[in-house]
Amino acid sequence: MTSVARLFNNEVQSGLNYSGVWLPNKRLIAGDVCSARDGQLQRTSNLHNLGLSVDVDDLQGASEIYYETPGAFDISVSGSAGADASAVGAKADGRADLRFKSDFAVVMRLENTRGSAVSDLKALERQLLERFRQGTWDLDDYFVVETLSARHSVILVSNNKNASASLGLDLTASKALPVDVRGSLALTTSISNVKGAAFHSVSKEEITPLVRLARLVDPWFGKPRVTMKSSGSKSSPMLVTGVDYTADMTS
C-alpha cells in the first residue's frame, strides 16, 4: 500500500504541483510541522505550538480542480438524463463504468475548494534560522505552507490495469449523459463494484487532500534558507500521511 501511496503523491506533484495527502480526512493546516519517518512525513506539531510567530491568510478557492492520468481510462455511461426535478420523488439515476488501462492511475475531482497559506515566509525564515543557530530546529522537519481543502471530492487510485469501478450518477439536473470521466465525476454520488483499485473515496464532508511543503536547508555553499519542496523531487520525502498527532496538537 505504501508504494501505491508514494506513486499517488508523485503523480499529484507532477500534475498539480502539490503534495498529495494519502489520508486526507486527517486534516492538515498551514503551519503544521511534519517529521520524516521511514520515508513518510507525519504531522507532529505546529509552528504556533513551538513558539513561532506565523500569520496565515485565507486563499480564494476554485470551483473545481480536476486531474486524471492521461489515457488511463475507458468509460461507458448509462441512464436517463433530464428528469423533472420538480416532480415529487423524481430522481434520474445513472451509472458510469470506469475501466483502468494502465498499471497505475489517478483520477481526482475537487469541488468548492478553499485554501490557506503562511503569509510571510521571510519572517518565518528569520525565526527558523535563529532556532537553527541555537540548535533547536531539526533540518529533517518540513512544515506546511499551504493547504487546499474541498467540500466535495471524488478520488480513485488504481495500481492494476485491469481494475474497474462503477460510479453512481445523479442525472436529475443533467440535460445529457456525460461523455467523459470528468463529466461523470461531476455527477458522482457513490462508488461501487470496485475491483483492483487501491483507494477510492466520495466525500461531501471537507477534506484536505493537497498541501505545499517547505523546510529549512543548510547547503554546502551559501546560507541556510527556507526552500519549497520542489514538484516531483526525487530527493524529497515521498509521502504525506498526516496521521500522527501529539498531545499538544489543536484541531
Residue 40 or residue 213, greater confidence:
213
The answer on pLDDT for 160 being more than 90 is no
pLDDT for the residue numbered 248? 32
- What are the backbone dihedrals phi and psi of residue 53, each rounded to the nearest 5 degrees, phi first? -90, 115
User: E strand or H helix at 43, and its extent?
Assistant: strand 40-46
Q: What is the spatial distance between Cα 196 and Cα 165, in angstroms, rounded to a whole number?
A: 9
pLDDT in tens, 193-248: 999 888 888 888 888 889 999 999 888 877 888 887 643 344 444 456 654 433 33
| Res 28: pLDDT | 84
Is residue 219 exposed (0-12), middle (13-18) or buried (19+ Cβ within 10 Å)?
A: exposed
For residue 64, with 0-12 CB atoms within 10 Å meaning exposed, 13-18 middle and 19 or more buried, which class applies?
middle
Q: What pLDDT is stored for residue 116 in this prediction?
A: 93
Given this model, what pLDDT does residue 204 score? 86
pLDDT in tens, 1-16: 457 888 888 888 888 8
Backbone torsions φ then ψ of 14, nearest 5 degrees: -75, -30
pLDDT, tens only, 90-125? 455 899 999 999 989 999 999 999 999 999 999 999
CB 248 within 8 A of CB 49: yes
β-pairing verdict for 239-240 and 40-46: parallel
Which residues, in sequence order, are bridge partners of residue 215? Answer: 142, 227
Query: Over 50: is that where the pLDDT of 126 sits?
Result: yes
Q: Is the pLDDT of residue 180 over 60?
A: yes
- Residue 90 or 51, more confident: 51
Q: What is the pLDDT of residue 33?
A: 93
Q: What is the per-residue pLDDT for 235?
A: 41
Evaluate if residue 73 carries a pLDDT over 70: yes
